[in-house]
Amino acid sequence: MSGSDELVALYDLGGTAVGEAARSRVRAENLWHAAGVVLVRSSDGNSVYVHLRTPTKDVYPSTWDCWAGGIVAAGETPEDCARRELAEELGVHGVELQPLFVHITDDGTIRCHNFAFEARWDGLFVHQPSEVVEGRWLTLDELRSWLEDPESRFVPDGRLGALEWFRREAAR
């Protein structure tokens, strides 16, 4: 099955899985769906791993992101999706995923519940060539500066999710 024909989980406005549809239909009709996304931090918590998306990505090509993740497949949980995408995109396996929050993207072209998780990792990264061009560690201050700079080429929903993460981290 090609990427546009894969079956993905459909969600309702409240964030509950309610069915399935081909990925191409979800994109064409702007249907509610979900994503499992993971913020990878160094074990000391002082840095976050960011990666540059390939120019061939169907959504937000050639932009930076601090979330490894993707669309929840039919029959898959958001956590299973996050774990699968973390392994596929960055080659990270066997880490504990800490649930964070759900942030919603509804920007006129994408309607998605982003189930956010955090993982700690100091190992090597193995980028999936079809999805990731390069990656690097940023300190928390560097990441916040990138996110707050409207000229930075950062994935829009990733930016909003990371700013929400900073807001919640500051409250702890």
pLDDT digits (tens, 9 = 90+) for 73-115: 999 999 999 999 999 999 999 999 999 999 999 988 899 999 9
What's the confidence (pLDDT) of residue 112? 96
| pLDDT band at residue 137 under the 50/70/90 scheme | very high
Residue pLDDT, tens place only, 34-70: 999 999 999 999 999 999 999 999 889 999 999 999 9
31 falls within a domain: yes
Residue 100 lies in a domain: yes
Domain assignment of residue 115, yes or no: yes
pLDDT band, very low/low/confident/very high, at 5 (cuts 50, 70, 90): confident
CA distance linking residue 49 with residue 130, whole number of Å: 18
Arithmetic mean of pLDDT over the chain: 94
Domain count, the chain: 1
Q: Is the residue at 56 inside a domain? A: yes
- Which of 44, 43, 97 has the alpha carbon at shortest distance from 67? 97
Q: What is the mean pLDDT of residues 24-42?
A: 96
In a domain, 121, yes or no: yes
Average pLDDT (133-153) is: 96
Which H helix or E strand runs over 100?
strand 98-106
Question: Is 1 part of a structural domain of the chain?
Answer: no
Expressed in percent and rounded to 5, the helix, strand and coil fractions of the chain are 25, 35, 35
Residue 1 is predicted with a pLDDT of 47
Range of the domain at 14: 7-170
Q: Residues 140-149: what's their mean pLDDT? A: 96
Q: What is the pLDDT of residue 4?
A: 62
- Tell me phi and psi for residue 145, to 5 degrees: -65, -45
Q: Within the chain, where are the H helices?
A: 23-29, 78-90, 140-148, 156-171
CATH number for the domain harbouring residue 15? 3.90.79.10
**Position 2 in a domain:** no
Please check whether residue 14 lies inside any domain of the structure.
yes
Specify the pLDDT at position 172: 57
Q: Is 85 annotated as a binding residue?
A: yes
What mean pLDDT comes out for the span 11-29? 95
Percent of the chain with pLDDT over 70: 96
For residue 3, the model assigns a pLDDT of 56
